Amino acid sequence: MIRIMFVCHGNICRSPMAEFIMKKLVNDEGLSEQFLIRSSATSTEEIWHGQGNPVYPPAKAELKKHGISADGKYAVQLQASDYDKYDYLIGMDTMNIRNMKRILGADKEEKIYKMMTFAGRSDDVADPWYSGDFRTTYNDIDEACRGLLKYLKERNEI
Ligand code: 4NP
């Protein structure tokens, strides 16, 4: 079982997009049973009295264009205990990585990654929060998810 946690600031745009794109890629290859895929936030901005907000409507709409549903997903915050529960903890940008380390502690097992490294890139996933450009975000995340799947195959993890 490969356990993946995608992480962003609010868990309503980028990391849920990554969660559901990765689930789709894995499902299309008949590999769903070998994976546990979740997403979470470094902040509590989208969580009120323990109840998380749903995926942001434009992010949901972008996923829907590609035949992907994000129904039933609500924002949750990353927990320190998640470090032992996941094999790959993947942040969308450099600030996410910094905040993840604050929550998870020192990355002793080197499980924390920045998303676009799986596409051979050192930049951040395009943040749609201010740009409103969800298409570029989708493309970045799709590229990285495909790269991650390839990486796992090359390492004989699946
Ligand atoms: P996300 O987007 O981190 O991709 O889910 C954001 C959501 C909320 C905020 C910023 C980015 N916010 O500032 O509340």
Q: Is 76 in the pocket of ligand 1 (CB under 6 A)?
A: no
E strand spans, 30-142: 35-41, 47-48, 51-52, 88-91, 112-114
- pLDDT averages per 10-residue partition of the chain, 158 residues: 98 98 98 98 97 98 98 98 98 98 97 98 96 97 98 93
Active site residue 14: yes
Kindly report the protein residue whose alpha carbon is nearest to atom 8 of ligand 1: 10
Grouping H, G, I as helix, E, B as strand and the rest as coil, residue 89 is strand
Catalytic residue among 13, 14, 38, 93: 14
State the Cα–Cα distance between residues 60 and 12, nearest whole angstrom. 9
CB distance 53 to ligand 1 below 6 Å: no
Ligand 1 proximity of 48 Cβ (cutoff 6 Å): no
**127 belongs to the catalytic site:** yes
**Residue 30 gets which letter from DSSP?**
T
d(CA 43, ligand 1 centre) in Å = 9
9 Cβ inside 6 Å of ligand 1: yes
Residue 8 confidence (pLDDT): 98
Among residues 82, 93, 124, 127, which one is catalytic? 127
Taking CA 60 as the corner, what is the angle to CA 134 and CA 144, rounded to the nearest 5 degrees? Answer: 55
Model's pTM, two decimal places? Answer: 0.98
